[in-house]
A and B are shown apart, each in its own frame.
Chain A
Amino acid sequence: MGLLAREIEAQGVTTVGLALVKEVAIAANAPRFLYLHWPFGHALGEPGNIAQQRTVLHDMLSMAAHAPRPGLVIELPYRWRRETYPAVQDWTTPSQAVVSGLSL
């Protein structure tokens, strides 16, 4: 999937990928990746958990707009099945998870 992101970005289109294996995300040398320590088949979270899915999409859109340099892999802080996800209040404000990831 990293190779796919690289080719799309090389065509002039911004890309953001989710990754479930950290080492693979890093080795992919892709423009922007968000890493989640969640099980395969669950990149957006748990079935029916719309708030959780929207949180991950907010993180992806924030990464698209605010990643300052190529090749960043940011680890999102969400623990599997141990988080509550408040509704995203303002989609124009970058997500805290991505902002604090960028400042590391």
Chain B
Amino acid sequence: MNTLNQQIDPIEHGTLGQAASGDEDPVRTHTGRLKEFFGRRFSNSAVLFGVIPIGTSLGRWISKIIALPQLRKLATGEVPWSPLRKPVSESTVVLLSTGGVHLRSDRPFNLNSDPTFRVIPKDALQTDLAISHQAYDKTDALRDINLVFPIERLRELEVERVIGRLAEEHYGFGLMGSAKHLMPAIKEVARRIRKSGADLALLVPA
């Protein structure tokens, strides 16, 4: 398998896989069968008896083990506080996702560790988008990108004048175990958001 095939699984383009992904859907950067299996096991959307999520407790446990010691070190001191200065209906809103979302035409995230970010324009369609992230079950998000990157819903709210305006640029992050190594990208995105004049940032996890 060459590098390109490893990056984007042709099955996910909808040539074969109607169940997981049609032509309208975002593409999945292929993580390998074993990792997809574990992704489904550990952060699953499948349910027992129709109600109890399977595997989420293990997934939660893993993310606690990874995140908590780092947060205790890095998320210290006073909580920053910048309350909204105008009504939501006059605010410019920017969207950020850590679900590995990026433009299909952009460089995919490294699947298990990537300290960079991607810019996603406000008018990006589902077909323009891809997901590169190996630590959660992407089946549903590939069917409906709004689960991890609700850009379509926000465009509707802009038209309905619920929000003032949608920012021109939105931001995607991939999987990154080391928060320390992600800090330069975090700081750059925070600066870009301030410079863009946005009033409100909405953050959505994987």
Contact = CB atoms under 8 A, between A and B. Distances in A.
B129 interface: no
A16 B203 CA distance: 6
Contacts of A53: 146-147, 150, 153
Contacts of A24: 63-64, 67-68, 71
A101 interface: no
Given A2-B75, A18-B205, A60-B202, A12 B143 contact: no
Interface string B145-168: 011101001100100101100000
- The secondary-structure label for the interface of chain B is mixed
B103 to A, nearest CB: 19
Nearest to B96: A4
Nearest to B46: A39
Nearest to B97: A43
Interface residues of A, number: 57
Contacts of A82: 51
Interface string B186-203: 110111011000111111
B203 A17 contact: yes
B127 interface: no
B12 interface: no
B79 to A, nearest CB: 4
A36 to B, nearest CB: 10
Contacts of B71: 2-3, 24, 27-29
A57 B95 CA distance: 11
Contacts of A84: none
A57 B166 CA distance: 14
B3 interface: no
B136 interface: yes
Interface of B: 43-45, 47, 50-51, 53, 56, 59-60, 63-64, 67-68, 71-72, 74-84, 87-89, 91, 94, 96, 98-99, 135-141, 143-144, 146-148, 150, 153-154, 157, 160, 162-163, 173, 179, 182-183, 186-187, 189-191, 193-194, 198-206
Interface of A: 1-21, 23-24, 27-31, 38-48, 50, 53-54, 57, 60-61, 64-65, 67, 69-71, 79-82, 91-92
